[in-house]
A and B are shown apart, each in its own frame.
Chain A
Amino acid sequence: MMEVTDNVSNEPVAGRAPLILGGHDFHSITTAVATPAESATPLAWWFFFIPSLGMLGLLGVAVGWLVWEGIGVWGLNQPVGWAFDITNFVFWIGIGHAGTLISAVLFLFRQKWRTSINRAAEAMTIFAVMCALLFPGIHIGRPWLAYWMAPLPNQMGTWPGFRSPLLWDFFAVSTYGTVSALFWYIGLIPDLATMRDRAKTQARRYAYGFFALGWRGSARNWQHYEMAYLILAGLATPLVLSVHSIVSMDFAVAQLPGWHTTIFPPYFVAGAIFSGFAMVTTLMVITRTALRLEKILTPFHFDRMARIMLTTGSIVGYAYSMEFFIAWFSQNPYEQFAFINRAFGPYWWAYWTMISCNVLSPQVFWFRKARTSMPILFIVSIFINIGMWFERFVIIVTSLHRDFLPSSWGMFYPTMWDVMLLIGSFGLFFTMFCLFVRFLPVIAAAEVKSVLPAANPHANGHAALDLDAPTMVSPHLAPKGVH
């Protein structure tokens, strides 16, 4: 059986069990992290990159045709006015949330194990937000007028309606994209400097050096840097909760049965974290094998992510059942019909796909063997990705297709352009991720170094047995003067 170290309870006198295995020192961490971005492009990379690029090409065609021809190329119409477009939007924005959760929330909770996965998770956030932003942009029908959402003075003297959740969404998602990108870039600077200092060619030195901004590991700089990182984490945490709450209000503020529910904000946030962790797991299982980072991304990290998936999956399952309970408890016939129709109406298959993928499949994570087995983690994370896409599809399409008046009922059938856009958005996401793992350090090397035992300035002296020694807490956040 795989040995999983528990760095919370198993504390020998000398400190916690190591987060990083294989007797790594500072230099070997640098080498392990930087080598994949420095060595010749492996053949396997092309196997991922070329199909991704092909899918990105599909996206270009699908968006081009949509802009040329109009929204009519999609399958949506009355009564289902939102379908794949908004499903994809909510799906992608939810994926992004795990990145922020790992980088910001776990940082504030001093979970040092995050250092091995936060960089890739943050990158994932940015690419997911890029995919997400695409859909509201194109579903408005005339994408060249998308700037009308911004409060810009104009010759018509008009202003956007700030009381609409759809406009809140515009502000929330664009702020989220900006802050995520800043957070990611700030975290990258020390590692870009590492890449600059290891560069063998002038072109690489200039390219990495330009973005490293002249970073030279100065303690005076680290002081402001760590403060900035802490503040950004503190800002990103309420931000990430607000973003998916606001996304859920796009639905909850409407009067439609199935949407008009107060449970939506927390339910959406939990679902977002759930789907995001699933996507991180999918990507990291591949990345750790492809880049040979098994010693840095240990089963311990996957065990922790699986626990979060189990927890948030259960919260989502609770929300599904609570919706039914409230439909019964409210004695509102429209609400009752909406939920019975959701489970047993024409889209029953979508509903039960969602339930089996989101509620049933993560239950295997009750077992430690499943939480540390890469094949099981990979398969379950794919199930969750599918289930969470269907969750948004179920909420949006089943609620819209049969509302109050039976005379206005209808069905939604996707066209090939709908499907191409969905596939194409995955193309955009995977192309960006392939470029990221090819050219940038996938692991936050500077942060990983700071959790090594040797990073403790008191490791060799009298403080070796001091249980309050600084390595016991986050190196960024320990109260001043504990040593």
Chain B
Amino acid sequence: MALVPPLFPEGEYFGLLAEYDSAGSLFHACEKVRDAGYRKWDAHSPFPVHGIEKAMGLGRSRLPYVTLLFGLTGVIGGMSLQIWANAIAYPMAISGKPLFNWQPYVPITFECGILLAALSTVVGMFAFNKLPMLFHPLFGAAGFEKVTDDGFFISVEAWDPKFDAAATERLLASTGATHVQLVKRREGAAS
């Protein structure tokens, strides 16, 4: 029974989970974990903490490129479909108007662009976030359900090259964590 998707390397532990009491202490703890050189780690909060991507050293989301690519596909596809259908495949003379006139095709071209841009943004966001992922080792961690209420957490994954259970725990404790715990890779696995 694979509770954990193969996305995670083998090992007994998923990593360490540290809890913080406020958005501010999470923010400053992130700066310290970032400066300590960790790569495979994450912060968790009930709402997007402003500026945390800087504190974590993350780059900008590349999602806009996905939107642009598919938005343009929608625009070009929408316009081509209309011209091809109304002027080539099934030419219909309406009120003596020319068959090749782009103006009346603008509204549908625009709608097709918006539709593809919006759909691709949502699909792209899910893809970047690796969602849906209905099972995750963190869901087995004690108290982690607070993350959608008022809890602030940092998780450092065990397969980070710098990860060392004892040293990382000391680092997290020194950042002002109220509680640090070791999270098992599988829920209910032998401890």
**Chain A residues close to B by CB (< 8 Å):** 25-27, 30, 151, 157-163, 165, 167-168, 171-172, 175, 178-179, 182-183, 186, 190, 193-194, 196-198, 209-210, 213-228, 231-232, 235-236, 238-239, 242, 246, 249, 446-447, 449-450, 454-461, 470-471, 475-476, 478, 480-483
Contact = CB atoms under 8 A, between A and B. Distances in A.
A227 B104 CA distance: 33
Contact of A172 (B111, B129, B133): B111
B48 A220 contact: no
B7 to A, nearest CB: 12
A213 B132 contact: yes
Contacts of A249: 107
Contact of B48 (A161, A242, A475, A480): A475
Contact of A224 (B42, B44, B47, B128): B128
A193 B94 CA distance: 53
Which of B45, B58, B63, B118 counts the most chain A CB atoms within 10 A?
B118
A163 B107 CA distance: 10
Nearest to A214: B133
Nearest to A34: B149
B149 A231 contact: no
Contacts of B53: 219, 223
Given A227-B61, A235-B118, A457-B28, 17 more contacts: A163-B86, A165-B107, A172-B111, A175-B111, A190-B46, A197-B148, A213-B131, A214-B131, A216-B139, A216-B147, A222-B52, A227-B64, A231-B63, A235-B114, A454-B23, A475-B50, A481-B51
A175 B48 contact: no
Contacts of A197: 145-149
Contact of A216 (B28, B104, B119, B136): B136
B92 A161 contact: yes
Nearest to B49: A457
Interface of B: 22-24, 26-28, 30, 42-56, 58, 61, 63-64, 67, 81-82, 85-86, 89-90, 92, 94, 97, 101, 104-105, 107-108, 110-112, 114-115, 117-119, 121-122, 124-126, 128-129, 131-136, 138-139, 144-150, 153
Contacts of B104: 162-163
Which of B64, B90, B149 counts the most chain A CB atoms within 10 A?
B149
Nearest to B53: A223
Contact of A218 (B26, B44, B86, B94): B44
Given A151-B85, A209-B134, A478 B50 contact: yes
A461 B24 contact: yes
Contacts of B48: 219, 222-223, 225-226, 446, 450, 475-476
8 contacts: A27-B150, A172-B107, A224-B128, A227-B61, A446-B48, A449-B46, A459-B23, A480-B51
A27 B147 CA distance: 11
Contacts of B132: 213-214
A210 B131 CA distance: 11
A219 B111 contact: no
A217 B82 CA distance: 43
Nearest to A253: B104
A117 B46 CA distance: 19
Contacts of A461: 24
B129 to A, nearest CB: 4
A13 B59 CA distance: 33
B42 A220 contact: yes
A7 to B, nearest CB: 17
Nearest to A28: B150
Contacts of B46: 26, 30, 190, 194, 217, 446, 449
Contact of B47 (A168, A175, A449): A449
Given A218-B44, A457-B52, A26 B150 contact: yes
Contact of A246 (B28, B107, B146): B107
Contacts of A165: 107
A429 B113 CA distance: 29
B42 A480 contact: no
A465 to B, nearest CB: 15
A32 B33 CA distance: 34
Contacts of A25: 150
B22 to A, nearest CB: 7
Contacts of B64: 227, 231
A161 to B, nearest CB: 6
B142 to A, nearest CB: 13
Contact of A454 (B22, B105, B119, B134): B22
